[in-house]
Amino acid sequence: MRIGHVQLAAPFCQAGLAGYSDRAMRLVARRRGCPYAVTEALLDTIMLRGGVGLRRSIDINDEDHPIAGQIIGSEPPQMAEAAKILADRGYDVIDLNFACPVKKIRNKARGGHMLRDVPRAMEILQAVRDALRPEVPTTLSVRRAFDDSPGAAEAFERITDAAWALGYAAIRVHARTVEQKYVGASRWEFLRTFKQRYPARTVLGSGDVFTAEDAVRMLRETGVDVVWIARGAIGNPWIFRHAADLLAGRAISPPTIHEQRQALREHFAIAREIHGEQGAGRRMRKLGMRYARFHPMEGQVKSDFIAVRSARDWAAVLDRWYAADGPGVWPAANAADEVNDTPADCEAAA
Ligand SMILES: Cc1cc2nc3c(=O)[nH]c(=O)nc-3n(C[C@H](O)[C@H](O)[C@H](O)COP(=O)(O)O)c2cc1C
């Protein structure tokens, strides 16, 4: 699996997830086998303004590679400038977001809007490619079309064909339409057809990957090169190793209570470094609930995480529920519904 010159150790990647996939989530996942990660969508204009917005947008360290910096925006020159900033700051790959379905974003001609604005999409693809040194790989994130009309299917083809022709190293397809948002299934047959059309290209598949089993099934059923793990990775940094194990025919077991505690501690410590005490507290409340799915006393652990207001409360939950080691459990089969968190935004809050 390659994205340009970037070699991936396994065919999985941690998705861009606004409000989640910060450096904390990425590092916790990398330490548990995640071979490649993508930032949340970074708004070009915020980066171009410099100052605190730029400082918050750029957040990687030596451990956080290979990484794609994902850009969202609407004007070709600004997207190009933002791409240069990320490449200069050491992001290994530049990914363009033509996928975000949030109306507020689309109304501003960003994200999924591009799938119904072919000229603008083409200009951005070209401008970004022209702005970067040839050795910096660029990739494109799209949905399978804007909607189910024939015109939208044609627009998808024109845009993806243009990306390949310009030398984009990979395309990530979320097999729902923009109009579909998160309702209904991701159409995996579409991924299979798309990959069959471009056997020599790198295709990332996305949509409805909630477990390690789903990730392996997507590889086998669709033939995509890399599985983009999104909601399935929230509160489950083990999913990458589990998927690699399943792929190799090895049995998997849920993380033990102490393995869970270790991941929670690391996640909180890095989140605090990035977002400060309060910001980390807010993030970790929702993440704690996701992690709690692996705990045999899930219901009570979740309620305790919801009540967390400070680092002290956080430590108290860990002391109460994670001090004694023991086996973890697999999340209940309906856990997919619980991670059905539809984003209010696709951009990192700057
Ligand atoms: C809370 C949330 C935030 C998201 N933020 C981004 C983002 O910043 N960039 C992006 O490319 N996709 C984003 N997505 C889309 C996911 O990366 C993924 O494509 C989508 O959730 C489908 O995969 P899944 O059904 O396996 O979760 C987001 C999705 C969710 C639920």
Nearest atom of ligand 1 to the alpha carbon of 209: 26
Token pair for 43: 């708004």
For 83, residues 6+ apart whose C-beta sits below 8 A from its C-beta are 71, 94, 128, 131, 132, 138
Q: How far is the CA of 18 from the centre of ligand 1 (A)?
A: 7
What ipTM did this prediction achieve? 0.99
Pocket flag, ligand 1, residue 232 (CB < 6 Å): yes
Nearest atom of ligand 1 to the alpha carbon of 347: 8
Angle between helices 311-322 and 257-291 (to 10 degrees): 130
Pocket flag, ligand 1, residue 40 (CB < 6 Å): yes
The reply to whether 346 belongs to the active site is no
Pocket flag, ligand 1, residue 21 (CB < 6 Å): no
Q: What domain range includes position 190?
A: 2-247
Pocket flag, ligand 1, residue 346 (CB < 6 Å): yes
Q: Are residues 265 and 239 in the same domain?
A: no
Q: Are residues 172 and 313 in the same domain?
A: no
Task: Concatenate the DSSP letters of all residues of 143-163 into one string.
Answer: EEESSSSHHHHHHHHHHHHHH
State the alpha helices, DSSP H only, in the chain: 23-30, 44-49, 51-57, 76-88, 103-107, 118-131, 150-166, 188-197, 212-222, 239-247, 257-291, 298-306, 311-322, 335-338
For 154, residues 6+ apart whose C-beta sits below 8 A from its C-beta are none
Pocket flag, ligand 1, residue 16 (CB < 6 Å): yes
pLDDT tens for each residue of the chain, 350 residues long: 899 999 999 999 999 999 999 999 999 999 999 999 999 999 999 999 999 999 999 999 999 999 999 999 999 999 999 999 999 999 999 999 999 998 877 778 999 999 999 999 999 999 999 999 999 999 999 999 999 999 999 999 999 999 999 999 999 999 999 999 999 999 999 999 999 999 999 999 999 999 999 999 999 999 999 999 999 999 999 999 999 999 999 999 999 999 999 999 999 999 999 999 888 988 888 999 999 999 999 999 999 999 988 888 999 999 999 999 999 999 987 555 454 455 667 765 54
Q: Are residues 27 and 160 in the same domain?
A: yes
For 105, residues 6+ apart whose C-beta sits below 8 A from its C-beta are 72, 111, 112, 113, 345, 346, 347
Pocket flag, ligand 1, residue 283 (CB < 6 Å): no
Q: How far is the CA of 16 from the centre of ligand 1 (A)?
A: 6
Q: Are residues 171 and 153 in the same domain?
A: yes
Instruction: Give me the number of domains the chain comprises.
Output: 2
Q: Are residues 178 and 288 in the same domain?
A: no
Give the separation between CA 206 and CA 272, rounded to whole angstroms. 30
Give the separation between CA 8 and CA 339, rounded to whole angstroms. 27
Q: How far is the CA of 97 from the centre of ligand 1 (A)?
A: 11
Specify whether the CB–CB gap between 10 and 35 falls below 8 A. Answer: yes
Nearest CA to ligand 1 atom 10: 16
Give the separation between CA 61 and CA 27, rounded to whole angstroms. 10
Give the angle subtended at the CA of 302 by the CAs of 296 and 306, to the nearest 5°.
165
Nearest atom of ligand 1 to the alpha carbon of 97: 11
DSSP 256: P
Q: Are residues 233 and 282 in the same domain?
A: no
Pocket flag, ligand 1, residue 211 (CB < 6 Å): no
Q: Which amino acid is at 223?
A: G
Give the angle subtended at the CA of 284 by the CAs of 279 and 286, to the nearest 5°.
110
Q: How far is the CA of 165 from the centre of ligand 1 (A)?
A: 26
Bin 252: left if φ > 0, else alpha if -120 < ψ < 50, else beta. Answer: beta
Domain assignment present for 184: yes
Domain assignment present for 64: yes
Token pair for 139: 């990739």
Q: How far is the CA of 231 from the centre of ligand 1 (A)?
A: 7
Nearest CA to ligand 1 atom 18: 230
Q: Are residues 52 and 123 in the same domain?
A: yes
Q: Are residues 138 and 214 in the same domain?
A: yes
Alpha-carbon radius of gyration of the chain:
20
